[in-house]
Amino acid sequence: MEENEPKMLNYKGTKYPCCASLTMGLIGGKWKTVILYHLMHDTLRYSELRKTMPTVTERTLSLQLKALEEDGLIKRKVYTSKPPLKVEYSLTDFGKTLIPLIQSIADWGDYVVENYSDA
């Protein structure tokens, strides 16, 4: 009897056991989805992102932005024409495909607060 190995999904050299695992690999963690949420409708500078997420450390924010950029979900544009250096972040076309998912996650969070909060 031959056992079939589960089909692995391959994305940018990383193997995932299922489509949900791939999705969470790209947007999972505490901050990636929050960053994507804040970039859904606006292009933001690093300092503006920091203000929307006051509890994230600078190191964590930088690492998460780098990971999202490497995965092709956000783009980083650097303006060097005159000091001080200006860096803006926005969703790529690929990143924009996540808007319905991110909006659903945000809507569910609102639903939980409205219906299941102890307050």
Whose structure tokens read 């299941």? 116
Q: What is the DSSP string of 32-73?
A: HHHHHHHHSS--EEHHHHHHH-TTS-HHHHHHHHHHHHHTTS
Task: Write down the pTM of the prediction.
Answer: 0.89
Residue 92, domain member (yes or no): yes
Residue 2, domain member (yes or no): no
φ and ψ at 15, to 5 degrees? Answer: -100, 135
The pLDDT of residue 72 is: 96
The count of structural domains within the chain is: 1
φ and ψ at 69, to 5 degrees? Answer: -70, -45
The pLDDT of residue 84 is: 82
Residue 4, domain member (yes or no): no
**Range of the structural domain that residue 98 is part of:** 9-112
Rounded mean pLDDT, 97-107: 97
Give the model confidence (pLDDT) of 19-58 as tens digits: 999 999 999 999 999 999 999 999 999 999 999 999 999 9
Rounded mean pLDDT, 67-91: 93
Rounded mean pLDDT, 80-97: 92
Residue 117, domain member (yes or no): no
In angstroms, the CA 6 to CA 4 distance is: 6
Output DSSP code: residue 95: H
Asked if residue 1 has pLDDT above 70, the reply is: no
Residue 3, domain member (yes or no): no
Radius of gyration of the chain (CA): 17
The domain that contains 19 carries what CATH number? Answer: 1.10.10.10
Return the percentage of the chain with pLDDT > 90, whole number.
83
Residue 118, domain member (yes or no): no
Residue 26, domain member (yes or no): yes
Residue 83, domain member (yes or no): yes
What lies within 8 Å, CB to CB, of 36 at 6+ separation is 27, 68, 73, 74, 91, 95, 98, 102
Token pair for 86: 């200006």
The pLDDT of residue 80 is: 86
Asked if residue 2 has pLDDT above 80, the reply is: no
